[in-house]
């Protein structure tokens, strides 16, 4: 019987039978992992207030000798991030990031940078930093850590460097993952474009690290452009639109 002890962020909880919960967590040391929490539904004393979505816990789990899902033995709250669950918009953003982690990451393969990123962004959301900007940061780094960074330094077709490209607006080739300059755009104007200023801000995030993110100042049009771009780029590479992204769009429309 092997036991694990680590920190983890709760991404999904499903009721199982009359008493139990099946949890999926992103853990610091073992990556994405599913566990069963026995009697978590029946007895509130078993895991009091610790198994809420998006909270960070420290946990001890044991894998049964016969194989099968690890069983959660102990859980203690590390960061409740309670400000997220009481707010629909914040919940929608956190659900979107969780779905990306759940669908993209392999089971039981540690990805410490993605763990740190998710914890950082949930903390920012909880602390009241602008959700839309935090989501741009999450998506850009998530793509970077997954080896899928969009190439914003040059035109993907003529290979011209950004500084030398004509015009102030650029298209983007989702398939090839690169910018498209005015000279290389064929056919009708794409439904969304990136202005030079937005591209520069996205490059600044790509080149930096999380510590500098607090200094980030986005204008409203740059937020809109980045949002449209990233929320088209990610579903394209995922092969479908995440369910939580539809929900997020719905909530944003209600708010505007």
Q: Looking at beta carbons only, is 94 or 181 nearer to Zn ion?
A: 181
**Phi (first) and psi of residue 118, to 5 degrees:** -65, -45
Shortest approach of Zn ion to residue 202 CB, angstroms?
Answer: 18
Query: According to the binding rule CB under 5 A, does residue 181 interact with Zn ion?
Result: yes
Shortest approach of Zn ion to residue 166 CB, angstroms?
Answer: 9
Report yes or no: 94 and 84 within 8 Å, Cβ to Cβ: yes
Report yes or no: 156 and 165 within 8 Å, Cβ to Cβ: no
Shortest approach of Zn ion to residue 186 CB, angstroms?
Answer: 11
Query: According to the binding rule CB under 5 A, does residue 127 interact with Zn ion?
Result: no
Shortest approach of Zn ion to residue 232 CB, angstroms?
Answer: 20
Shortest approach of Zn ion to residue 236 CB, angstroms?
Answer: 20
Among 9, 133, 137, 155, binds Zn ion (CB under 5 A): 155
Q: Is 187 left (phi over 0), alpha (psi -120 to 50) or beta?
A: left
Report yes or no: 55 and 63 within 8 Å, Cβ to Cβ: no
Query: According to the binding rule CB under 5 A, does residue 199 interact with Zn ion?
Result: no
Sign of CA pseudo-dihedral 235, 231, 173, 190:
positive
Query: According to the binding rule CB under 5 A, does residue 157 interact with Zn ion?
Result: yes
Among 184, 210, 216, 232, binds Zn ion (CB under 5 A): 184
Among 107, 158, 236, 243, binds Zn ion (CB under 5 A): 158
Query: According to the binding rule CB under 5 A, does residue 140 interact with Zn ion?
Result: no
Q: In the complex, which residues of this chain contact Zn ion (CB under 5 A)?
A: 155, 157-158, 181, 184
């Amino acid at each position: 019987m092997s036991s694990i002890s680590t920190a983890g962020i709760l991404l999904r909880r499903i009721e199982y039978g009359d008493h139990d919960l099946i949890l999926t967590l992103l853990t610091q040391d073992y990556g994405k992992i599913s566990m069963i929490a026995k009697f978590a539904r029946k007895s509130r004393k078993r895991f009091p207030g610790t198994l809420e979505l998006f909270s960070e816990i420290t946990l001890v789990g044991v894998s049964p000798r016969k194989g099968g899902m690890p069983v959660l033995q102990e859980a203690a709250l590390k960061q409740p991030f309670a400000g997220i669950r009481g707010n629909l918009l914040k919940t929608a953003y956190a659900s979107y990031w969780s779905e990306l982690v759940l669908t993209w990451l392999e089971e039981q393969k540690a990805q410490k940078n993605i763990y740190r990123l998710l914890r950082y962004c949930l903390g920012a959301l909880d602390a009241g930093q602008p959700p839309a900007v935090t989501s741009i940061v999450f998506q850009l780094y998530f793509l970077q850590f997954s080896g899928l960074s969009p190439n914003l330094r040059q035109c993907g077709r003529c290979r011209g460097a950004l500084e030398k490209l004509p015009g102030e607006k650029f298209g983007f080739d989702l398939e090839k993952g690169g910018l498209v300059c005015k000279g290389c755009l064929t056919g009708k104007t794409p439904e969304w474009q990136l202005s030079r200023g937005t591209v520069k801000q996205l490059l600044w995030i790509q080149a930096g690290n999380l510590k500098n993110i607090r200094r980030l100042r986005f204008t409203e049009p740059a937020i809109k452009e980045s949002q449209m771009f990233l929320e088209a780029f990610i579903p394209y590479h995922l092969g479908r639109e995440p369910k939580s992204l539809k929900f997020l769009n719905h909530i944003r429309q209600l708010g505007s």
